[in-house]
Structure 1
Amino acid sequence: MKLTKPLITGAVGIGLLITAAAPSATAAQTGAGQASAGQLRVTIGSAEGKAGAVASPMANATCTINRITVNRYSSCEWVTVHVDVIRVVNGRPVIEGTADFNAKHQMTLKANSANWSEKFTVSKAKTTGKGKGVRVNIGATSGGGTKATVKFPQGRTLDSAGNGTVSYKSAAIAPKKIKPKAKTTYKYTFTKAGYSPGGVSYASATYRCDNYYGSTRTNRSGCAFPEAPTAVSMVGLARIDEGIRKLRARGGHYGDPNGGKPLHWMTDKTQEGKNRAAVCPRSAPADMKRVGRTSCDEYPFASTREGGTHLPANQREITWVKVQENKSQGGRITAWRGKMHVMHGDPFYVVTS
Structure 2
Amino acid sequence: MRAVFKATLIALALALLPAQVVAAAPQAQSDSASELSSVGAAKLPEPKPNQAKRPTARGVGAAEDSCARVRARIDVLKAEGAQTVACVTSAPARKPSAPSISPSSFSAEDDREALPLPPWCYESSNGDGTWYYNRFQACSIATNLVNVIDVKSGATVGQIFYQTNEYVYTNDELANWGHQVTIRLVTQWGETAGTTVQGDAICNGTCTLSVGHIDFPSQPLSQSNPPFGEAFPETTATATGAVGEAKSVMYWQFKNPKWAKQPDLVGSQVAVPIRCDNDTKGVSTVGCVFKDYEPVNVVSRNGLYPKYAKHISEAQASGLPGAYPDGQPLTRQTDSAEATKNRSTACPQASKGGYTRPAGYSCDEYPFASTHEGAANNPTLGRSFSWCQISQLSSRTGPGWSACMIPATENTAAGRDDLRPFYNKNRVLEKDKFYVWIVD
**Shorter-chain-normalised TM-score: which range?**
0.5 to 0.7
- Name 2:266's counterpart in structure 1: 200
Structure 1 residues 4-52: Cα deviation after superposition (integer angstroms, max 9, x where no partner): 656747444564332236xxxxxxxxxxxxxxxxxxxxx89999xxxxx
The structure 2 residue matched to 1:174, chosen from 222, 239, 247, is: 239
Identity %: 18
SS in 2 for 1:3: coil
What are structure 1's unaligned runs of at least 5 residues? 22-42, 48-58
Compare 77-86 and 117-126 and name the one that shifted more: 117-126
User: Does structure 2 conserve the Cα–Cα contact (< 8 Å) formed by 1:124 and 1:158?
Assistant: yes
> How far is the alpha carbon of 1:126 from its aligned partner?
0.8
Query: Aligned equivalents of 2:374 and 2:145: distance in 1?
Result: 45
Query: Aligned equivalents of 2:334 and 2:430: distance in 1?
Result: 8
The structure 1 residue matched to 2:158, chosen from 97, 106, 109, is: 97
Evaluate the alpha carbon distance shift between residue 163 and residue 12 of structure 1 in structure 2; reply closer, same or farther with a 3 A threshold. Answer: closer
- Name 1:318's counterpart in structure 2: 402
> How far is the alpha carbon of 1:100 from its aligned partner?
0.5
Query: Aligned equivalents of 1:253 and 1:158: distance in 2?
Result: 54
The structure 2 residue matched to 1:266, chosen from 298, 309, 332, is: 332
**1:16 is the counterpart of 2:86:** yes
Query: Aligned equivalents of 1:287 and 1:175: distance in 2?
Result: 40
User: Does structure 2 conserve the Cα–Cα contact (< 8 Å) formed by 1:263 and 1:305?
Assistant: no
User: Does structure 2 conserve the Cα–Cα contact (< 8 Å) formed by 1:151 and 1:165?
Assistant: yes
Evaluate the alpha carbon distance shift between residue 125 and residue 239 of structure 1 in structure 2; reply closer, same or farther with a 3 A threshold. Answer: closer
Query: Aligned equivalents of 2:269 and 2:404: distance in 1?
Result: 48
Structure 1 residues 273-299: Cα deviation after superposition (integer angstroms, max 9, x where no partner): 79949x859787979437488857232
What are structure 2's unaligned runs of at least 5 residues? 1-55, 79-83, 97-115, 382-395
Number of positions where the alignment pairs a residue of Structure 1 with one of Structure 2: 313
User: Does structure 2 conserve the Cα–Cα contact (< 8 Å) formed by 1:255 and 1:349?
Assistant: yes
- Name 1:184's counterpart in structure 2: 248
**Alignment RMSD (CA, Å):** 4.6
Evaluate the alpha carbon distance shift between residue 10 and residue 340 of structure 1 in structure 2; reply closer, same or farther with a 3 A threshold. Answer: same
Query: Aligned equivalents of 1:253 and 1:93: distance in 2?
Result: 65
- Name 2:51's counterpart in structure 1: none
- Name 1:297's counterpart in structure 2: 365
Query: Aligned equivalents of 2:309 and 2:317: distance in 1?
Result: 12
**1:231 is the counterpart of 2:315:** no
Query: Aligned equivalents of 1:320 and 1:331: distance in 2?
Result: 18
TM-score by length of 2: 0.56
- Name 1:61's counterpart in structure 2: 118
Structure 1 residues 287-345: Cα deviation after superposition (integer angstroms, max 9, x where no partner): 94374888572327661469846x99536541144796776655453332112212245
Q: Which has the higher strand share?
A: 1
User: Does structure 2 conserve the Cα–Cα contact (< 8 Å) formed by 1:76 and 1:107?
Assistant: yes
- Name 1:3's counterpart in structure 2: 61
Query: Aligned equivalents of 2:241 and 2:179: distance in 1?
Result: 27
TM-score by length of 1: 0.67
